[in-house]
Amino acid sequence: MASRKTSQRSQPDGDKYSVLLPTYNERENLPLIVWLLVKYFGESGYKYEIIVIDDGSPDGTLEVAEQLQQIYGEDKILLRPRAKKLGLGTAYIHGIKHATGNFIIIMDADLSHHPKFIPEFIEKQKEGNYDLVSGTRYRGNGGVYGWDLRRKIISRGANFVTQVLLRPGASDLTGSFRLYKKEVLESLVEQCVSKGYVFQMEMIVRARQLNFTIGEVPISFVDRVYGESKLGGNEIVSFLKGLLTLFATT
């Protein structure tokens, strides 16, 4: 197959990936997710760093992160904590400021997003020189495991309503397992107004508006085993508000 004009092969070791891990009460999950990240990056040979953005978790997540830093090294594990819980969207923005990679990977720290998919994200990005690659639960072999009916309906519903209102041309709008070119993410973040979970949806909608190219990789999302979701009723209300704001302004 002829290679596309845009897919200039970058140097095998030219690219660096900054993984942003926002954490709030993830003491049990953090060691395993970090171990898996180190494993898959080690095997694939790409340069990387892991940036943990802990929001003053009362369960001692930051202390665990400090121990992991001792084990894997300060060049691999960066700690960029904040004093209190300020929301997922702003946690990413905070993390980006400290990232030294030319690509940024955003994912959950609770093992719902498996690091084994990262090499696929990277390959997909290189294949089409995409501005961003989004994991999708709603295409191909993608899926969701372990959610109750309520949670499935919320997620499907949020995706469906957004698809109908905004037609963003991506199959998973509320997912948060994504890879971005750093400068693309920076320019998207500048445009984004939302602070909580709705951030993910706004990012992909804005990406389409700005004509950024989007690649997709099917992922399986597995509900967390340890700890609990921080997605509460408030977040659902602010999602709807955010959606309406976007609908009105785009």
Q: Choose which of 91, 133, 173, 243 interacts with ligand GDD (CB under 6 A).
A: 91
Complex with Mn ion: residue 208 or 224, whichever CB lies closer: 224
Q: At 178, give phi and psi (nearest 5°).
A: -145, 155
Q: Choose which of 29, 112, 162, 194 interacts with Mn ion (CB under 5 A).
A: 112
Complex with ligand GDD: residue 22 or 168, whichever CB lies closer: 22
Residues 172-231 that bind Mn ion (CB under 5 A): 224
What would the x/- binding string for ligand GDD be over residues 184 to 213, using CB under 6 A? -------------x--x-------------
Q: Does 26 bind ligand GDD (CB under 6 A)?
A: yes
Cβ pair 179, 103 in contact under 8 A = yes
Q: Does 110 bind ligand GDD (CB under 6 A)?
A: yes
The stretch near ligand GDD (CB under 6 A) out of 3-11, 67-75, 123-131, 224-232 is: 224-232
Complex with Mn ion: residue 49 or 110, whichever CB lies closer: 110
Q: Does 155 bind Mn ion (CB under 5 A)?
A: no
Residues 228-247 that bind ligand GDD (CB under 6 A): 229-231
Smallest distance from ligand GDD to CB 109, Å: 3
Q: Does 171 bind ligand GDD (CB under 6 A)?
A: no
How far from each other are the two terminal CA atoms of the chain, in whole angstroms?
Answer: 38
CA angle at 34 for the pair 33 and 37, rounded to the nearest 5°: 85
Q: Which residues are near Mn ion by CB under 5 A?
A: 110, 112, 224
Q: Which residues are near ligand GDD by CB under 6 A?
A: 22-24, 26, 53-55, 85, 87-88, 91, 108-110, 112, 155, 174-176, 197, 200, 224, 229-231
